Amino acid sequence: MAIEFTKYHGLGNDFILIDNRLSSTPAITPEQAIKLCDRHFGIGADGVIFALPGENGNDYTMRIFNSDGSEPEMCGNGIRCLAAFLADLEGTQRKSDKYAIHTLAGVMTPQLMLDGQVKVDMGLPKLLAGEIPTTIAPDDEKVIDRPIEVVGKTWDVTCVSMGNPHCITFVEDVAAITLEVIGPQFENHPVFPRRTNTEFIEVVSRDYVKMRVWERGAGITLACGTGACASLVAGVLTGRCDRTATVDLPGGPLQIEWSEVDQRVYMTGPAERVFTGKIS
């Protein structure tokens, strides 16, 4: 049976979106997702996202398979794309549509803004080692500028969970980082029992940083929403950044705020439809 899909991207972080609202079971398997995400022999994407029926009174449920077939807890750019996809499915205008979406990282609430951007309440960051999880520090301690050995070099890292694990390190020149070499070493380091996403951050000013990312299960991507959020939190924890900043990724900028009022993290950025098709 043919399955209709729509491809979206958030700052170049691209996804295959499938309308799965009639079933709580994803329409394709992780193995099929790997084939579809292949950029030479498939559609090409960083992951496949399913819009499933809501749970516990929420509007919808989001599940995602990465390009390697693994299933992450959440995806920041992906949930913006999902919100735009849902608005298109429902035939609503992109005004103030707001959704409560159940994810493996908790309930997220993306809102479509008047200017076409999508603002997402990403929730409270988790800061204790046991929550991330990582064994760099005792479970009840924060991981702030802790040393780790990777490819024969000591890196000071700060770890944050935005529902999924992130390891952030601050560098002088983010363009000089050989992501394809260093990224896999961080992702699979034994101190991260569930592997980790890794962000390399160059602080230009307190409200503007440059970021490159190696995503767990996807490799080098042009943008990572949860990573941008985690990086801003890490910048505040280490005294490098203000609580609101522009995080500039290879695919473009995201606006991130770690609210001093409610301690929640808010991400604002675009979600663009690319094309539609059928999988036979």
Report the C-alpha gap between 225 and 270 in whole angstroms. 11
Structure tokens at 74: 């959440």
Neighbours of 220 (CB within 10 A): 13
Q: Are 49 and 81 in contact (CB under 8 A)?
A: yes
Provide the CA 34 distance to its chain's centre, in angstroms.
18
Phi-psi bin for 190: left (phi > 0), alpha (psi -120 to 50), beta? alpha
Active site residue 167: no
User: Which position among 75, 159, 167, 241 bears the catalytic label?
Assistant: 75
> Among the options 81, 224, 229, 241, which is catalytic?
224
Q: Write the CB contacts of 146 (distance below 8 Å, at least 6 apart in sequence).
A: 136, 137, 156, 157, 158, 159
Is residue 241 annotated as a catalytic residue, yes or no?
no
Active site residues per annotation: 75, 224
